[in-house]
Amino acid sequence: MVMDKMKLKITIIGGNVHNVGYRYFLMNIAINLGLDGFNARNIMKGNEQQVVALIEGEEEAIAEFKMLAESQRPEHSLVSSILFEDTNSKVMKTEKYAQICTAVQLNKAIPLLLDERGYPAGIRSPIPAGAGRYPGDKGAPGNVLILKSIL
């Protein structure tokens, strides 16, 4: 039996829905339910914080996502309302969104980890132009940082 696929737009509105892990919270639900598509972004509407997520998947999984999004939320979030509406918008593949999120979080974490471990600024240095990692590699841009020692 073929299940019907559907797409849904979820808008979470509140006084504190940014910087509390809401997008990652929703992404974990999407992954656990096996949704084909998921992406989310933070936006401001006036003084109001919003998280807008698009999901795509089987009807049963979408219904469960709605139930979980209404009944659970990240710690420290303050939600005033959650809106659901059908959409025809393009939805990113869940795996691709997860990969992007991982890269973004690593980019934020590495400098903090270096600071936490007490490494002096000299432990990091620019990759010299033309310093390839393998034969034929032209090297990374000069603003990319590498570690001089193993963490």
Does a structural domain hold residue 27? yes
Number of folded domains that form the chain: 2
CA distances from residue 118 to 112, 147, 149, 150 in whole angstroms, order as listed? 10, 14, 13, 14
Residues 87, 127: one domain?
Answer: no
Residues 145, 85: one domain?
Answer: no
Residues 76, 140: one domain?
Answer: no
Residues 125, 92: one domain?
Answer: no
Does a structural domain hold residue 59? yes
44-51 contacts at long range (C-beta below 8 A, 24 or more positions apart): 45/13, 48/13, 48/14, 48/15, 49/13, 49/14, 49/15, 49/16, 49/17, 49/18, 50/11, 50/12, 50/13, 50/17, 51/10, 51/11, 51/12, 51/17, 51/18, 51/22, 51/23, 51/26
Mean pLDDT of 14-35: 95
Question: If pLDDT is split at 50, 70 and 90, which confidence band does 116 have?
Answer: low
Measure the CA angle with vertex 41, ends 37 and 43; round to 5°.
150
Output the pTM of the full model. 0.71
Does a structural domain hold residue 147? yes
Q: Domain range for residue 146?
A: 121-151
Does a structural domain hold residue 103? no
Does a structural domain hold residue 92? yes
Measured in degrees and rounded to the nearest 5, phi and psi for residue 26 equal -65, -40
Does a structural domain hold residue 108? no
Residues 41, 85: one domain?
Answer: yes
Mean pLDDT of 103-132: 66
Residue 93 pairs in a beta bridge with 37
pLDDT of residue 144: 43
Does a structural domain hold residue 116? no
